[in-house]
Structure 1
Amino acid sequence: MPMPGYVFRDGGTTPPAVEDADTAFRKRITTATTSTPTSHASKPITATSAAPLGQNTTTSHQLATGHHEIEGAAQRAGKEDRTTNLGWQANAVGVDTLVGGLPNDDLWTLMRRFNKQMYHVKAVPRPPPGGLDLVVAKEDDFSPDKLRANLERLYMTVIVGLIAFGKHIARLRSWREPRRTAGFAAAYFLAWILNVVVPFMLAFVIVLITVPESRDFLFPPAPLALVDHKTGGVQKPKAGVLGSTDSVTGAPEKYKGEAVEQEASNMVSGIASVAISSAAGRHDQANPDPEGGSKTLDKGAPDPTNLATSVADAQSSAQGGNPEHAHDKTKQPMEEAVWAKMRPAMHGVGQAADTWERVANALSPTPPFSQNKRLQLGAIFVPIMLLSLFVKAQWVVRGTTFFTGFAFFSDPLMQRGIHFLNEKIPNWPEYLDLGNTLLKGVPTNAQLTITLLRIGEANRAPLPPPPSSSHPPPDKPVGVDKTAITDNGLDASHSEIEDAITVDKPTGGEEAAHAEAEGKKKKGGFGAKVMSAFKHTTAGGVETKLTLDSAKAALGSRHAKDKLGVLPTKAEMKEKPTEGPVEFKARYDGRKGAVYVDSSVSPPSGRRPASPCVYFTTHLDGHEHVESMPHDPTWAVAIADLAEIKKVGGLGWKGKLVVGWATNREVKDGIEIVTRQGQKYRAMAIAERDELFNRLVAMGQQVWESY
């Protein structure tokens, strides 16, 4: 199959045969010698190309380059022999539908969450059993950031879905929608009288899976925050206004999905706050004073991960305990045990979110993935339903109790069986994974996103980044169809819904109290003044440290060079134009330049690698869409040679916390590229780091594994 970035020269919308295109593309790229990278102080070098990875491609690659019945702007752009800018600088204003069959708001929601989830990928020699890449590697190490990302995914997928299910059940049980509830009750008790409750339930599930129209008919949708989970009636959203329809609080949002993402972030922060407060004994009964206190880059900053242990020691000392742990033989083993168990716990949370996303994408597929998977899922339940008509209940009970006892008392036999499987089929657990069996070929949201990104790259029309804005969303209700909500059965009048979704106007007393509170907040007390002075001192220290880094970089310090330009200047903060899709301003070895992505298809020439390729140069001509590579790039790597891509931080994670708090400036991070020959290139101070990462992982034929 053609590599993403390949342009069909026949000008048609249907690609040539997969085998012919693949053969033609492989002939275009020849094997050349590879020069060894020199030190950073040496003259510019160029990494030459090698042949494409000898591996099979995934379902994602095949769908990205196949024919699509519904075409968007990205699919139609493949007829042009150049990179098409579909609105990278437009910030979503006037951008046409990018991928056929998928609204731009949903696409940008997927991309925004993909950016938070994907940080490090490596190429593997062959696709996994499920046929889709971006599977989490077994060697993926635990980190608090990864755990946070997985917990946020768990909230946005599983928890919000369960909350929505619970509110539908509350609506049914409340009898506020009498016709719908009566219909469910009549069907259930009729099945009970005929003794076919289980077959009826299975048939009900089959209908929901195979007939998408039945879902809205049987479970009419309503804004999630508008439904009371206890009474099933209308409630005032917790945010005070119905600014979003798919969030639990109903908080306003500027772009679709942002309210749920903010809820997920606040949920994880709340859990962390409770954990730290518990370790610190914040609400100690002996001293119920709610007031607390707070205590400078990288090495000078305190380690937040030690905060809970430190405050617990302080609490123990205050109560007369001995905070010294030299004699405590339980502390280190328990800490090691907790951290050792956090890795499988993190993977378990991620797998739960992956399974939920796969089931959702199977029931409501997104183009270009097949719409027939739900029919296959429904067909699985048909024989079970037929068997349930003949199998007696006591047989099920007897069989369940037998297998339970067998599993409990047959541990030696089971261990021998597992040992035998490990010898004969080392990767046998992979074949039991739902993603490789029942849900094979059904993507997670990350796998769906990489497929959509590959569609853009296959047509040389990279998908533009999600829109962003520093201004808060307006505090006004979202547009809802009150007639549709009441017609669907929600027990409320139009006036009640209007009162619930709009912001309450404050009374005269409330306005005075709010103004007084704002005045006190602006004026501040002694503690606020001390904190403000400390913040300004810290900000000055940050600037001094960065100035020293500039001096060290001039003397040749590699570590200092990587920090140059990580903090934007005031001018850059006022006007931050979106870069891309070809040029991404960056620094390499401390020198200003740009990373260019050349998606054309051309053989190598001299010291230049075959295109598609990525290269860095300090020779900037001021144009953003130049794809002609200069003759002396600092480094250049063919896309086929990429073996590992990793997002790296511009500062240490503790330093980033300090900088964010003291300066309120966003740190510009970097990206590290590793070639198949083991060469590493690190470009830093990239404002659009996520967008560059997405382009690189979506361009090649590599099968990626997530770390």
Structure 2
Amino acid sequence: MPAPGYVFRDGGATPPAEENPDSEFRKRINEASKPITATDKAPLGQNTSTSHQLATGAGDHEVLGSAQKAGRENHTTNLGWQANAVGVGTLVGGLPNEDLWTLVRRFNKQMYHVKAIPEAPPGGLDLNIAEEDDFSPDKLRANIERLYMTVIVGFIAFGKHIARLRSWREPRRTAGFAAIYFLAWIFDFIVPTILATLIVLITVPRSRDILFPPAPIALVNHKTGGVQKPKAGVLGSTDSVTGAPEKYKGEAVEQEASNLVNGIASVAISSAAGRHDQSNPDDEGGSKTLDSGMPDPTKIATSAADASSAAQGGTPEKAHDKTKQPMEAAVWAKMRPAMHAIGDISDGWERLANALSPTPPFEQNKRLQLGAIFVPLLLLSLFVKSQWVVKGTTFFTGFAFFSDPLMQRGIALLNEKIPDWPKYLEIRNTLLKGVPTNAQLTVTLLRIGEANRAPLPPPPKSQQPPPDKPADDVDKHAITDGGLDATQSEIEDAITVDQPSGEEAAEGEDQKKKKGGFGAKLMSAFKHTTAGGVETKLATDSARAALGSHHAKEKLGVLPSRDEMKQKPVEGPVEFKGRYNGRKGAVYVDSKVSPAKGHRPASPCVYFTTHLDGDEGVESMPREPDWAVSIPDIIEIKKIGGLGWKGKIVVGWATSREVKDGIEIVTKDGKKYRAMALSERDELFNRLVAMGQQVWESY
């Protein structure tokens, strides 16, 4: 990979383009630009991670994208932030832009609060979930959605592969599996055969498509193993269970995950309401006026249960029911470990997937190490008799059951000698050490762009609904050649949308023309009244802000106007328009390398100013910025909401407008800086997380 242009971790600059690439100066700069990383032989106390080293040149960079080729200019390179994916070349070598934007889009939903930690984790990769991370319904929702998109969809796909094998609709493949299985059974080689197959599947990627030919999940019937019409009526996506159309790759399965959470009862009611501290910009005022008048959606389930009990002659009052409060407290207390367990399962699945199918610049041969683990087991299975396995299993089961006092003493001794010993036994620090989760992969890709002063552009957006047509990546010939028991005409009928008959079309037109009844009119009137109340509240905030109210100032500009929503220009990568203390301005990200001067911090830095000139350099500002923070001084970054969580529900329903949110930065000396009403809040957050050498932990 070419030498980074301005690397923020050392302040070194790449020499001019005409400099001899083999010169001694160039070599010194290249060596200086690579930060010390926590490798297998390095101590755990180092302040950089493997992710930082990969971003600055280590790892697999044989194929270079536009972000890796940049870095020779004396300013930030715009790789197409305003292009909305039109005409944007491959950004990171070895990874299609569609996959990159899918990772970034899911990263934006998963990450909203990070803190710097003093040392690299044992696995060498940062951005792990903090142990003391508190529970909230919104976090639970995000974890359930991630569990669906990774584990549940993976098991559904595996189940449909099994259905295809059992159905004998692909006779040659099923006959081959059956012949090998029964031959192994005859010669008592079942376990060695299974282990050998696992080793081949892990170490030889091509074998996976040969043994299990891919097919769109929604196209395979889970009972018969044959072709079915997707539940969405058209095969608009290949990686979703319903086959629903999508505007961009990965959106269909994301919407499925969201709808799954919305359909879960009890706890999902709290999750769907989106209650979380990151949506509450202050605890003392501000949006409390709007929130205080709204009922709490999290009480709907318990209130309905109490009403049902009362209707049947029960006594749900607290005076009669002494178990209500302790049971509710016990349920909510257990939600935190349950949420962490769901997150750990998703993390493990993502690491396993990234080990089997690695993404550059991460190591491509990790699967060989993973497959090597099964080789000793394969050799042992050739000589160890099944009776010995049964004897050993039953012995260790009995020992674990009856040796609790001995085990407790051993655990106490370990806790005394090695307090953090469980961390060294976690799969992320043993079998899958150095293998990233999708979030860790994403932050590494973002760091590649920042190391070359070429921030990755945000995922594209579209206000148009997805088209009702088959996905562009559906290859009918590949599906039939892969062995799926269906002709091309049958597949064509299954993947295309059915045209409605004349009667159905006429009925649909009548439904569109048909006006709503009394209930619809009443709801519409209530919606318009609520929208008027929201506008009145925001107008009141403007008046209070003019009188000096700090909380009211933070609400200014959070609700975009209709004209602004229509235009909705994409901002960045240097300038992000927003407000500070109610004043219009912009947050600028200065990626140049320069020393501190007066009250202006050393660059790279982030600062807010009301002087908008598009120039990122803080040293060229004609007047002092409202606030400025050097990137190395940041220890915490948090996304905050423009309104409280209940206020967001009201505004979103009544006005159909997106609320602009904000960001909070905490420095080493404990100072906090905020910028509100940011349209591209997620993009600014990603830039700040990826720029410095901080080792982050997710909260």
For residues 656 and 618 of structure 1, the distance between their equivalents in structure 2, rounded to whole angstroms, comes to 27
Could you tell me which residue of structure 2 aligns to residue 492 of structure 1?
Answer: 486
For residues 324 and 31 of structure 2, the distance between their equivalents in structure 1, rounded to whole angstroms, comes to 63
Q: How does 1:9-88 map to 2 (within 5 A)?
A: 9=15, 11=17, 16=27, 21=32, 55-67=46-58, 68-88=61-81
Tell me if the contact between 1:582 and 1:626 (Cα under 8 Å) persists in the aligned partners: no
Q: Secondary structure at the match of 2:568?
A: coil
Tell me if the contact between 1:72 and 1:99 (Cα under 8 Å) persists in the aligned partners: yes
Tell me if the contact between 1:580 and 1:624 (Cα under 8 Å) persists in the aligned partners: no
- CA apart distance, 1:674: 0.1
For residues 646 and 109 of structure 1, the distance between their equivalents in structure 2, rounded to whole angstroms, comes to 22
Q: In structure 1, what residue type is equivalent to 2:117?
A: V
Instruction: Check 1:351–1:276 CA distance in 2 against 1; reply closer, same or farther (3 A cut).
Output: closer
Instruction: Check 1:594–1:217 CA distance in 2 against 1; reply closer, same or farther (3 A cut).
Output: same
Tell me if the contact between 1:123 and 1:702 (Cα under 8 Å) persists in the aligned partners: yes
1:545 corresponds, among 533, 537, 544, to 537
Q: Secondary structure at the match of 1:79?
A: coil
Q: Which moved more, 1:651-660 or 1:314-323?
A: 314-323
Tell me if the contact between 1:648 and 1:671 (Cα under 8 Å) persists in the aligned partners: yes
1:310 corresponds, among 303, 315, 321, to 303
Instruction: Check 1:18–1:350 CA distance in 2 against 1; reply closer, same or farther (3 A cut).
Output: farther
Q: Secondary structure at the match of 1:585?
A: strand
Could you tell me which residue of structure 2 aligns to residue 170 of structure 1?
Answer: 163
Q: Could you give the per-residue CA deviations for residues 192-227 of structure 1, whole angstroms, max 9, x where no partner exists? A: 112111011101000001100111111111111111
Instruction: Check 1:437–1:627 CA distance in 2 against 1; reply closer, same or farther (3 A cut).
Output: same
For residues 653 and 488 of structure 2, the distance between their equivalents in structure 1, rounded to whole angstroms, comes to 45
- CA apart distance, 1:310: 1.4
For residues 703 and 326 of structure 1, the distance between their equivalents in structure 2, rounded to whole angstroms, comes to 51
Q: In structure 2, what residue type is equivalent to 1:600?
A: K
Q: Percent identity?
A: 78
Q: Secondary structure at the match of 1:297?
A: helix
For residues 340 and 395 of structure 1, the distance between their equivalents in structure 2, rounded to whole angstroms, comes to 44
2:243 corresponds, among 228, 250, 254, to 250
Q: Which moved more, 1:444-453 or 1:331-340?
A: 331-340
Tell me if the contact between 2:213 and 2:482 (Cα under 8 Å) persists in the aligned partners: yes
Q: In structure 2, what residue type is equivalent to 1:126?
A: E
Q: In structure 1, what residue type is equivalent to 2:511?
A: A
- CA apart distance, 1:189: 1.1
Q: How does 1:150-165 map to 2 (within 5 A)?
A: 150-165=143-158
For residues 492 and 258 of structure 2, the distance between their equivalents in structure 1, rounded to whole angstroms, comes to 29
Q: Could you give the per-residue CA deviations for residues 619-671 of structure 1, whole angstroms, max 9, x where no partner exists? A: 113x3766655240011000000000000000000000000000000000000
For residues 312 and 211 of structure 2, the distance between their equivalents in structure 1, rounded to whole angstroms, comes to 59
Q: In structure 1, what residue type is equivalent to 2:677?
A: A
Tell me if the contact between 2:246 and 2:252 (Cα under 8 Å) persists in the aligned partners: yes
Instruction: Check 1:474–1:112 CA distance in 2 against 1; reply closer, same or farther (3 A cut).
Output: same
Could you tell me which residue of structure 2 aligns to residue 508 of structure 1?
Answer: 502
- CA apart distance, 1:253: 0.5
- CA apart distance, 1:424: 1.1
For residues 112 and 353 of structure 1, the distance between their equivalents in structure 2, rounded to whole angstroms, comes to 17
1:579 corresponds, among 560, 564, 571, to 571
Q: Could you give the per-residue CA deviations for residues 295-327 of structure 1, whole angstroms, max 9, x where no partner exists? A: x92111111111111121222222222232223
Q: In structure 1, what residue type is equivalent to 2:419?
A: P
- CA apart distance, 1:9: 2.6
For residues 624 and 74 of structure 2, the distance between their equivalents in structure 1, rounded to whole angstroms, comes to 25
Q: Secondary structure at the match of 1:421?
A: helix
For residues 540 and 671 of structure 2, the distance between their equivalents in structure 1, rounded to whole angstroms, comes to 29
Q: Secondary structure at the match of 1:266?
A: helix
Tell me if the contact between 1:7 and 1:78 (Cα under 8 Å) persists in the aligned partners: no
For residues 244 and 578 of structure 1, the distance between their equivalents in structure 2, rounded to whole angstroms, comes to 27
Q: Could you give the per-residue CA deviations for residues 17-44 of structure 1, whole angstroms, max 9, x where no partner exists? A: 689526999xxxxxxxxxxxxxxxxxxx
2:371 corresponds, among 361, 365, 378, to 378
1:191 corresponds, among 168, 184, 190, to 184
Q: Secondary structure at the match of 1:609?
A: coil
Q: In structure 2, what residue type is equivalent to 1:599?
A: S
Tell me if the contact between 2:234 and 2:497 (Cα under 8 Å) persists in the aligned partners: yes
Calculate the aligned-residue CA RMSD, in Å. 2.0
Could you tell me which residue of structure 1 aligns to residue 41 of structure 2?
Answer: none
**Equivalent pairs, count:** 658
Tell me if the contact between 2:8 and 2:604 (Cα under 8 Å) persists in the aligned partners: no
Tell me if the contact between 1:133 and 1:704 (Cα under 8 Å) persists in the aligned partners: yes
Q: How does 1:225-240 map to 2 (within 5 A)?
A: 225-240=218-233
For residues 206 and 619 of structure 2, the distance between their equivalents in structure 1, rounded to whole angstroms, comes to 51
Q: Could you give the per-residue CA deviations for residues 135-171 of structure 1, whole angstroms, max 9, x where no partner exists? A: 0001100000000000000000000000110111111
Tell me if the contact between 1:7 and 1:81 (Cα under 8 Å) persists in the aligned partners: no
Instruction: Check 1:394–1:629 CA distance in 2 against 1; reply closer, same or farther (3 A cut).
Output: farther
Could you tell me which residue of structure 2 aligns to residue 107 of structure 1?
Answer: 100
For residues 27 and 685 of structure 2, the distance between their equivalents in structure 1, rounded to whole angstroms, comes to 29
Instruction: Check 1:632–1:624 CA distance in 2 against 1; reply closer, same or farther (3 A cut).
Output: closer
For residues 378 and 448 of structure 1, the distance between their equivalents in structure 2, rounded to whole angstroms, comes to 22
Q: In structure 2, what residue type is equivalent to 1:66?
A: G
For residues 571 and 527 of structure 2, the distance between their equivalents in structure 1, rounded to whole angstroms, comes to 32
TM-score, structure 1 as length reference: 0.90
For residues 674 and 229 of structure 2, the distance between their equivalents in structure 1, rounded to whole angstroms, comes to 51
Could you tell me which residue of structure 1 aligns to residue 637 of structure 2?
Answer: 645
Could you tell me which residue of structure 2 aligns to residue 663 of structure 1?
Answer: 655
For residues 274 and 448 of structure 1, the distance between their equivalents in structure 2, rounded to whole angstroms, comes to 31
Tell me if the contact between 1:59 and 1:132 (Cα under 8 Å) persists in the aligned partners: yes
Could you tell me which residue of structure 1 aligns to residue 697 of structure 2?
Answer: 705
1:351 corresponds, among 339, 344, 356, to 344
Are 1:590 and 2:582 counterparts? yes
Instruction: Check 1:17–1:239 CA distance in 2 against 1; reply closer, same or farther (3 A cut).
Output: farther
Query: Structure 1 regions of 5+ residues with no counterpart?
Result: 26-53, 278-295
Q: In structure 2, what residue type is equivalent to 1:515?
A: E
- CA apart distance, 1:474: 0.5
Could you tell me which residue of structure 2 aligns to residue 3 of structure 1?
Answer: 8
Could you tell me which residue of structure 1 aligns to residue 141 of structure 2?
Answer: 148
Are 1:421 and 2:414 counterparts? yes
Tell me if the contact between 1:581 and 1:625 (Cα under 8 Å) persists in the aligned partners: no
Are 1:674 and 2:685 counterparts? no
For residues 34 and 78 of structure 2, the distance between their equivalents in structure 1, rounded to whole angstroms, comes to 29
TM-score, structure 2 as length reference: 0.91
For residues 266 and 591 of structure 2, the distance between their equivalents in structure 1, rounded to whole angstroms, comes to 46
Q: Could you give the per-residue CA deviations for residues 31-89 of structure 1, whole angstroms, max 9, x where no partner exists? A: xxxxxxxxxxxxxxxxxxxxxxx942100000000152211000001122210000000
- CA apart distance, 1:553: 1.4
Q: How does 1:598-609 map to 2 (within 5 A)?
A: 598-609=590-601
Tell me if the contact between 2:234 and 2:468 (Cα under 8 Å) persists in the aligned partners: yes
Tell me if the contact between 2:13 and 2:29 (Cα under 8 Å) persists in the aligned partners: no
Q: In structure 2, what residue type is equivalent to 1:549?
A: D
- CA apart distance, 1:503: 0.8
Q: In structure 2, what residue type is equivalent to 1:59?
A: T
Q: Which moved more, 1:14-23 or 1:390-399?
A: 14-23
Q: Could you give the per-residue CA deviations for residues 349-391 of structure 1, whole angstroms, max 9, x where no partner exists? A: 0000000000000000000001010010011110110011111
2:90 corresponds, among 87, 92, 97, to 97
Tell me if the contact between 2:143 and 2:339 (Cα under 8 Å) persists in the aligned partners: yes
For residues 107 and 578 of structure 1, the distance between their equivalents in structure 2, rounded to whole angstroms, comes to 18
Instruction: Check 1:177–1:627 CA distance in 2 against 1; reply closer, same or farther (3 A cut).
Output: farther
Q: Could you give the per-residue CA deviations for residues 391-437 of structure 1, whole angstroms, max 9, x where no partner exists? A: 11111111111111111111111111111111111111111110011
Q: In structure 2, what residue type is equivalent to 1:327?
A: H
Q: In structure 1, what residue type is equivalent to 2:624?
A: D
Q: Which moved more, 1:679-688 or 1:74-83?
A: 74-83
Q: Could you give the per-residue CA deviations for residues 232-291 of structure 1, whole angstroms, max 9, x where no partner exists? A: 1000000000001111000001100000000000001011379769xxxxxxxxxxxxxx
Q: Could you give the per-residue CA deviations for residues 549-569 of structure 1, whole angstroms, max 9, x where no partner exists? A: 111112222211111100001
Tell me if the contact between 1:124 and 1:705 (Cα under 8 Å) persists in the aligned partners: yes
